Amino acid sequence: MANPKSSSSEAYRKLRTNIQFSSIDSQIQTIMIASALSGEGKTTTIGNLAVTYAQEGKKVLLMDTDLRKPAVHRMFNVPNHVGLTSVLSSQYKVTEVLRETDVEGLHVLSSGPIPPNPSEMLGSRKMTALLENLKEEYDVILFDTPPVLAVTDALIISSLCDGVILVVSAGKVKKDLVKKAKAHLEHVNARILGAVLNNVQVPKNRIADYIENV
């Protein structure tokens, strides 16, 4: 996680603030971080954003809904032998698989064992019911997902969220693919709050300026 006094930490605080001001009439409680392709910095972005919310005094849950190539558990050094899939398959209660982190107020719900049917699990009524219960316990819930153009999982999760932030890796992804990912999200009526332009080579004192359109 970023040093709280660093320019990158300031960029995440700016992102948090911009999300909060992106909606005046409705609360932004559930947020998905999306990307067109893998390797664009989506998981790093959501991990740092989760820390930033917790540092503000919020009770935060970071859910790893990438049931194909999960990574959140490694970022926060928590076990992943049980997790979300264990709850959705009725093997464990959610209270038994939630993990505390070194950041006060931040909990992680890792993916759990990789299932044969990720899309079906994420689109199940049990997933919807689980999220409704968790919304009563947490101020902010953040979702890490597979890339939008890879599988349908991210589109399923986007329908459960108050808003979506699209992470774009500068110089890596063609504009047409970004537009295609955006179109896919809009097709399922996802509310796109804005985009984060990642991996831009700029002076450190200007990193916060590159939180785009949120």
Ordered by start, the domain boundaries in the chain are 28-210
Task: Quote the CATH superfamily of domain 28-210.
Answer: P-loop containing nucleotide triphosphate hydrolases (3.40.50.300)
In order along its 214 residues, the chain shows pLDDT tens digits of 545 555 577 788 888 888 877 766 678 999 999 999 988 889 999 999 999 999 999 999 999 999 999 999 999 999 999 999 999 999 999 999 999 999 999 999 999 999 999 999 999 999 999 999 999 999 999 999 999 998 999 999 999 999 999 999 877 788 899 999 999 999 999 999 988 887 666 555 544 444 444 4
The residue behind tokens 């299932």 is: 115
Q: How far apart are the first and last CA of the chain?
A: 22
| Per-residue model confidence (pLDDT) at position 160 | 94
**CA quadruple 153, 163, 106, 42: dihedral positive or negative?**
positive
Contact at 8 Å (CB) between 153 and 146? yes
Full strand arrangement of the beta sheet holding 106-109: 99-100, 106-109, 60-64, 140-144, 30-35, 163-169, 192-198
Q: What is the C-alpha R_g of the chain?
A: 16
User: pTM here?
Assistant: 0.87
